[in-house]
Amino acid sequence: MRFDAIVAGLGPAGATAARVLASAGLNVLALDKARFPRYKSCGGCVSTKIERILDFDIKSVVEDSIYGATFTYRSGRKMDIMSDRVVGYNVMRDRFDHYLVSKAKDAGVRIIEGFRVAGIKDNGGSVTVTGADGESYTGSFLVGADGASGFTGREYFKLDPKKAAVSITAEVPYDRGKRDFTGRLFIDFGSVPYGYGWIFPKERFLSVGIAGDAEKNGGRIKETFNDFASSHFALEGLKAERRLGWTVPTFYDGAGPSVKGRVLLTGDTGHLVDPFLGEGIYYAIRTAHAAADVIIERWRSGSADLAPYQAWLEKEIYPEFKAAEKLSGLVYNHQRLWYSIIEKDPEIMRRFYNVIRGEETSAEFYGWVYGKVKSKPWKLLRRWIDSRFLPA
């Protein structure tokens, strides 16, 4: 049997692409190596801009609504920067992803779990996907949505797995009645070379993690995690056990197009992750939507040309990621200075919350911050000097 579309991977990208395609009347097969619900190493904070692209409610799987964060510098110099409007939603990825998969099922997607994609062949007029056990399926189009370690991006598109941040996470059980962290995240600058540490509170767990540039964190990532987890006040008396390492395949210049014949890449497998925060859930869902829309249009018109998806990425997504990359350079190369600046001017972070909400672009924000920094060089210099004498 030939499918109109095959989707490799059923995380947020795959579940979304499959659902949108099936809802438009295509005969869709979705394959995932895992069985749902499955764990995914993640902070699990979904920005509110998700509401602009989902036509259903995710409230049933939201464990907390976030209004801001308690920031620290190397676990000290604690500072709350809250907003009166919600910025994001904390979810546990096993529940959230399972919910999205159930939506795909409801839309009529045929789902095969426990199927690891191990081969892709473009036959000219169709694509054949082969599993690790040799079983194969053929479709008119293939959506690559198989995540950071997926076959489609790494093997078929030859994207560079080293262009990624490294991370360690742990889910730490806690008693919400005894530690009321409702409505906030914890973000730490200064502990992780070219990266940051976080604690994202959920109903039963604190998702604790660090992520940073692979090269700059070298072989010290475990020690960095231990130092962070043992020094942060929110984790006092708790043990961050059962740690997991994972990569965050951030966007990089020179990755090449995300379209090859009848195959396209969405989400993590295509390195479509914001390089400043490592935010990927929204981008997985957004790129999956756009990919599905192009396939639907092509399926209706009888064409196989997926180039409009690449054009969309270049117009809508790459400029944002390029601005986020610049922001990373500014913040992560000068974490102590950055922290002093936001201590003196917390409005900067409140304005950044607008970027997370999708009300302002990263490019606009970067331009604004950079202008601020450039226009007051003497003030900045003083803050920089101050920052050197404040306790590290």
To the nearest whole angstrom, how small is the minimum distance from the Cβ of residue 385 to ligand FAD?
Answer: 34
End-to-end CA distance of the chain: 63
Residue nearest to ligand FAD (CB): 280
Among 63, 64, 279, 325, binds ligand FAD (CB under 6 A): 279
Q: Which of 45/61 has CB closer to ligand FAD?
A: 45
Residue 195 makes contact with ligand FAD by CB under 6 A? no
- Nearest-approach distance from CB 271 to ligand FAD, in angstroms: 10
Q: What are the E-state strand segments in the chain? A: 2-8, 28-32, 45-47, 64-66, 68-73, 76-82, 88-90, 110-113, 117-122, 127-131, 136-144, 165-173, 184-189, 195-201, 205-213, 244-248, 259-260, 263-265
151 lies in the site for ligand FAD, by CB under 6 A? yes
Q: Does 197 bind ligand FAD (CB under 6 A)?
A: no
Does the footprint of ligand FAD cover residue 5 (CB under 6 A)? no
On the 0-12 / 13-18 / 19+ scale of CB atoms within 10 A, 68 is buried
Interface with ligand FAD (CB under 6 A), residue from 22, 206, 280, 353: 280
Return d(Cα 227, Cα 197) in angstroms, integer: 11
From 58-66, 139-147, 219-227, 291-299, give the range in contact with ligand FAD by CB under 6 A: 139-147
**Three-state DSSP state, 177:** coil
Q: How far is the CB of 189 from ligand FAD (least distance, A)?
A: 16
Of 109 and 248, nearer to ligand FAD (C-beta) is 248
Considering only residues 47 to 76 of the shown chain, the ones binding ligand FAD according to CB under 6 A are: none
Peptide bond into 37 cis (omega under 30): yes
In Å, what is the CA distance from 240 to each residue of 44, 206, 306? Answer: 17, 9, 45
For ligand FAD, the binding residues (CB under 6 A) are 8-14, 31-34, 40-46, 116-117, 145-151, 167, 169, 209, 211, 246, 248, 267-268, 273, 278-282, 284
